[in-house]
Amino acid sequence: MIDLSLIWIVIIAVGVFIYVVLDGFDLGIGILFPFIKNQQERDVMMNTVAPVWDGNETWMVLGGAGLFAAFPIVYSAVLSALYLPIILMVIALIFRGVAFEFRFKATRTKYIWDNAFIWGSIIASFLQGVILGAYIQGIDIVDNRYAGGGFDWLTPFSLFTGLGVVVVYAALGCGWLIMKTDDILQKHMYKLMPKLLIGLLVIFIAVSIYTPIAHPQIAERWFAPNQLIYFSPVPLLVLVCTVLAVRSCIKQNEAMPFLYTLGLVFLAYSGFCISIFPYIIPPSITIWDAAAPTNSQLFALIGALILIPIILVYTAISYWVFRDKVRIGDEGYH
């Protein structure tokens, strides 16, 4: 018999990963704005993602819709537990989206939209990390309802993971700009990228040490004999990807810093998925406990199998059409 819950969790996990990658470097460009003061170079930075940024967030919608359709308990309980950071994140994304539309039209007020773009990107990224940290910590569920307080998500660990996601997105944005730009702006990114990568490595190490210490159930899963075989290469691969990414910046290889950073993100994300599986609401609710009725999952799956290929093709075509470098003076987002 086909396990629809397992199929749905794979779809949602892949969708979230695609969102992290695509909207990650998109948000990262806003995080990097303060490092670049020249307005023409800022125009170039925005133009590298202007044609595709709104499509990137489709994957966030897919993840939320997938939870609602396939795991309604998760949708209600997690949103109840994390309502405040989620709504603040949405508000930050709105400010950021408005900045895209208004910045190129503004003259005297351009600095306002620069700040909206910067702070919208930073706050949205930070809150995504806070949500991730709170989710890893676990959510108190009683009778399939959230039983905790309104600020249980606010802990030192969640704040640290918030900072970590900001650095991850900044590194992705930096790698993207190295690929998509040239001249002075690209040189700035080459100099900045190694610093971000070292910071990212430090954050990965800190989270890897703190998580098993603070959460015994995760430590038990990590160090179980059958799991340890799969986990043991991960620290080495993280170190290798970091070293290779830094070397590619020194050699000024345009594509590799971004690709190696994607490798780091994949390693971190796969570690997260393995750490919590099969729990969809750590530490007590499994994907099968939270599953919707089979008919509901099947009905939604048919729609997803129609829509997801369309979204993938649309995304691929968008990035292919706008694959060339962006330079100062190019006709941009007007």
pLDDT at residue 333, rounded to an integer: 52
Q: Is residue 329 part of a domain?
A: no
Q: Is residue 330 part of a domain?
A: no
What mean pLDDT comes out for the span 53-60? Answer: 79
Q: Is residue 26 part of a domain?
A: yes
Q: Is residue 148 part of a domain?
A: yes
Q: What angle do CA 102, 108, 109 make, to 5 degrees?
A: 45
| Closest listed residue to residue 160, CA positions, set 192, 143, 137, 181 | 137
pLDDT higher at 175 or 144: 175
Please report which confidence band the pLDDT of residue 332 belongs to, taking 50, 70 and 90 as the band edges.
low
C-alpha distances (whole Å) from 63 to each of 44, 68, 131, 137 are 31, 9, 14, 20
What mean pLDDT comes out for the span 160-172? Answer: 93
Q: Is residue 327 part of a domain?
A: no
Per-residue tokens: 40: 């023409």
In the chain, what is the straight-line distance between the N-terminal and C-terminal CA atoms, in Å? 53
pLDDT at residue 31, rounded to an integer: 94
Q: Is residue 233 part of a domain?
A: yes
Q: Give the chain's mean pLDDT.
A: 86
Please report which confidence band the pLDDT of residue 126 belongs to, taking 50, 70 and 90 as the band edges.
very high
Residue 251 has pLDDT above 80, yes or no: yes
Q: Per the structure, how many domains does the chain have?
A: 1
In whole angstroms, give the CA distance from residue 10 to residue 248.
33
Residue 214 has pLDDT above 90, yes or no: no
Domain that holds residue 155: 4-322
Contact 269, 234 (CB under 8 A): no
Full-model pTM: 0.90
Q: Is residue 279 part of a domain?
A: yes
C-alpha distances (whole Å) from 195 to each of 199, 200, 248, 278 are 6, 9, 13, 36
Hey, how many other C-beta atoms are within 10 angstroms of the C-beta on 281?
Answer: 24
Residue 292 has pLDDT above 90, yes or no: no
Q: Is residue 311 part of a domain?
A: yes
Give the distance between the most distant pair of CA atoms in the chain. 64
SS3 278: coil
